[in-house]
Amino acid sequence: MLLVTCVAALRAQAPAQRPLVVTAENLMAKDRANSEAVVPGDVLRYRLHFTNTNSGDVRGVVFTNPVPTGLRYVDGSAGADREDVLVEYSADGGKTYSTRPMVSEVVAGKRVQKPASPQQYTHVRWTVRGSIASGASVTAEFRAELPAAHPDSSSHRAP
């Protein structure tokens, strides 16, 4: 699931044009016989590449990508190739975003807020704060890891 929000002019493009290309690459599988399989410990790089195919500037571009089910966000791996991109995270299924999301926890019988660990992140969002000129592009990416199975959780497999 990927959501891209931009100005109305972008949605009016011909269907044959592909302003957004999303790729996933298993960075660990190059030396294995079955490079298609994802095994515990593998790190996948998700890359979103947007090119403005309009004749004018585009403003208000936002990329939102969930961390795939069964994978964990790799701390510090989200970024973009432009300085004016704000990276935020969600730890509540994409309902709210922050550069440092908070989660509720019960401590000594009281509910308290604490920073979510990166492993709790469910979504990554990139907001381009400037405009993207005609023909220009922006690339955003993050990494996610398939965690190693714990011996006591053999009956629970990641999808």
pTM equals: 0.78
Q: Which residue has the tokens 């302003």?
A: 19
Q: Which CATH class for the 3-10+17-147 domain?
A: mainly beta
pLDDT at 145: 96
Confidence of residue 16 (pLDDT cuts 50, 70, 90): low
pLDDT surpasses 80 at 2: no
Rg (CA), the chain: 18
- What is the tens place of the pLDDT at every residue in 62-95? 999 999 999 999 999 999 999 999 999 999 999 9
Q: For residue 13, which phi and psi values (nearest 5 degrees)?
A: -70, 160
Q: Determine how many CB atoms are found less than 10 A away from the CB of residue 144.
A: 23
CA dist 71 to 42, 77, 134, Å? Answer: 10, 14, 35
pLDDT of residue 156: 43
Whole-number Å distance between alpha carbons of 101 and 125? 12
* 6 DSSP 8-state letter: -
Hey, where are the domains in the chain?
3-10+17-147
